[in-house]
Amino acid sequence: MDNLLRHLPSTHELLQQLHNVEVSHNVKVDACRYALEKARRIIQTTQQIPDLATLLLWTHERLEAQQQPSLRPVINASGVIIHTNLGRAPLSDEAITEMQAVGRYYNNLEYDIALGQRGQRQKHIDDILCELSGAEASLVVNNNAAAVYLVLSALASGHEIIISRGELVEIGGGFRIPDVMLQSGAILVEVGTTNRTHLKDYRSAITERTVAIMRVHTSNFKQIGFVKQVDLADVTALAHQHRLIMIDDLGSGTFIDTSQFGLSHEPMIQESITAGVDVILFSGDKLLGGPQAGIVLGKRELIERMSQHPLMRALRPDKTTLVGLARTLQHYRDGDALQKIPIWQMISMSLETIKARAMHWQSVVGGDVVLSDSTVGGGSLPTDTLPTWALRLSVPQLDDFAARLRQFPHPVIARIQDQAIWFDPRTVFPQQDQDLIAAIQYARGI
């Protein structure tokens, strides 16, 4: 074995072959060491010595991989529209353009141009949020989990807050409502049972230490069968009778009625405002279709208390988030959200359009075009699907094929199901079609 290993060039000798490569010395050394270590493993398992051309190929592959950013675009052919692992909601072209401009140049993040003095960053988003929702005031933080933590810390620390036992949820990443309450200093009071909560349960739990009632949207699961939830307007009225704050954590939150697309009705932001809720929380990067953000709407006095809390500086959003969110909201104000915001383009996409694209893929790479289902994802509408047409390929060694798809310069994430690999056009941007086809051909070794 040692005799075979002696036939490998040294790191220095291999490095000399890279004299025309314009990267740093340390990067080239790393690539050479990577290739030589790979060669040693092959010698140990096969007793075969890779030649110099092979070593150089591995070295250049390593160099190329090192130039790729860790976070990069992928092609989502899974059919999951708001895919948490794939960055949730893609942004509109207009939002991206404005985020680039604000990120590239100096900007008026905390500067009032008209007055020529220091301004407030939240002012850039407050007017349009209040216009769309009807709320008195708004606040934006870096995600909805942060919004929950801020609301509880600023408004309920040291006091009791009542929540239905069936709403003590855990969402992705181990975010649990009871744990967040504990950290915020709020005192959790559970009412009702896992599946049934009545108005009388809330009423009987109110004490002199109670400061708020909170509704938490269950987001990524749904209870069916013998269940009971109190209408939001009724529990809000009870809270106000006792001079308590009513908090509504919508989770995803939407300005558009999802039922028009054959989906279940997802709680809408406007409905919480109409019900008289004092504080409403939701995400910016789920059904809203914007950048990651946590949005808080509500009564001005409560919003001001939160804005002055010491946590607010740690949770505040950056300039690109604010301008991207503002531009996303303008789509709703202008009435073109279905046409401009990618997740709504996908949700509202016609079956005819989807089938035509799947058949185009089939005409190049083969397979079968079959009826399937897309899902909304992102903790929204957990039991709902949308009908779709998908390209189904039956290939040997499915896991290896899927791995090669991911290794393509434009990685493709597809779905393995029923001993085949599936590609759903609903979540693939039209401009990605050629790259998808090329990735399939690459995975096949064509």
The CATH number assigned to the domain holding 361 equals 3.90.1150.180
Specify the pLDDT at position 2. Answer: 63
Do 54 and 131 lie in a common domain? no
Out of 299, 316, 340, pick the residue that ends a domain. Answer: 340
**Neighbouring residues of 282: CB distance < 8 A, sequence distance ≥ 6:** 144, 249, 250, 251, 252, 253, 269, 288, 294, 295
Encode pLDDT of 412-443 as tens digits.
999 999 999 999 999 999 999 999 999 999 99
Q: What is the mean pLDDT of residues 156-167?
A: 93
Do 212 and 243 lie in a common domain? yes
Percentage, residues of the chain above pLDDT 90: 72
Do 238 and 139 lie in a common domain? yes
- Scored b (16 or more CB within 10 A) or e, 8-25 reads bbeeeebbebbeeeeeee
**Does the pLDDT at position 1 exceed 60?**
no
- Distance CA(232)–CA(248), nearest Å, equals 9
Specify the pLDDT at position 174. Answer: 66
Do 194 and 239 lie in a common domain? yes
**Does the pLDDT at position 171 exceed 80?**
no
- Using pLDDT thresholds of 50, 70 and 90, give the confidence band for residue 137: very high
Q: What is the mean pLDDT of residues 151-167?
A: 94
Going by C-alpha positions, the residue among 119, 112, 121 that lies closest to residue 140 is 121
**Does the pLDDT at position 173 exceed 90?**
no
What pTM, to 2 d.p., does this model score?
A: 0.88
Specify the pLDDT at position 315. Answer: 96
Specify the pLDDT at position 7. Answer: 80
Specify the pLDDT at position 310. Answer: 94
**Neighbouring residues of 357: CB distance < 8 A, sequence distance ≥ 6:** 425, 428, 430, 433
Do 215 and 348 lie in a common domain? no
Do 356 and 302 lie in a common domain? no
Do 120 and 237 lie in a common domain? yes
Do 61 and 100 lie in a common domain? no
Specify the pLDDT at position 23. Answer: 87
| Domain that residue 335 falls in | 91-340
- Distance CA(277)–CA(232), nearest Å, equals 8
Q: What is the mean pLDDT of residues 53-82?
A: 90
Specify the pLDDT at position 378. Answer: 77
Out of 324, 340, 356, pick the residue that ends a domain. Answer: 340
Do 182 and 53 lie in a common domain? no
Do 356 and 405 lie in a common domain? yes
- Using pLDDT thresholds of 50, 70 and 90, give the confidence band for residue 386: very high
Do 177 and 209 lie in a common domain? yes
Average pLDDT, the chain: 92
Beta bridge partners of 190: 163
- Distance CA(140)–CA(325), nearest Å, equals 10
**Does the pLDDT at position 69 exceed 90?**
no
Q: What is the mean pLDDT of residues 7-27?
A: 88
Do 53 and 20 lie in a common domain? yes
- Distance CA(319)–CA(7), nearest Å, equals 56
Q: Is 425 helix (H, G, I), strand (E, B) or coil?
A: helix
**Does the pLDDT at position 21 exceed 90?**
no
Q: What is the mean pLDDT of residues 267-296?
A: 96
Specify the pLDDT at position 110. Answer: 95
Q: What is the mean pLDDT of residues 208-229?
A: 83
- Using pLDDT thresholds of 50, 70 and 90, give the confidence band for residue 382: confident
**Does the pLDDT at position 17 exceed 60?**
yes
Q: What is the mean pLDDT of residues 223-236?
A: 85
Encode pLDDT of 90-136 as tens digits.
999 999 999 999 999 999 999 999 999 999 999 999 999 999 999 99
Specify the pLDDT at position 325. Answer: 98
- Asked if residue 150 lies in contact with residue 128, where contact means CB atoms within 8 angstroms, the answer is no
Number of domains, the chain: 3
Which of 291 and 61 is assigned the larger pLDDT? 291
**Does the pLDDT at position 306 exceed 90?**
yes
3-state helix, strand, coil in the chain (%, to 5): 45, 20, 35
Out of 282, 315, 340, pick the residue that ends a domain. Answer: 340
Encode pLDDT of 317-335 as tens digits.
999 999 999 999 999 999 9
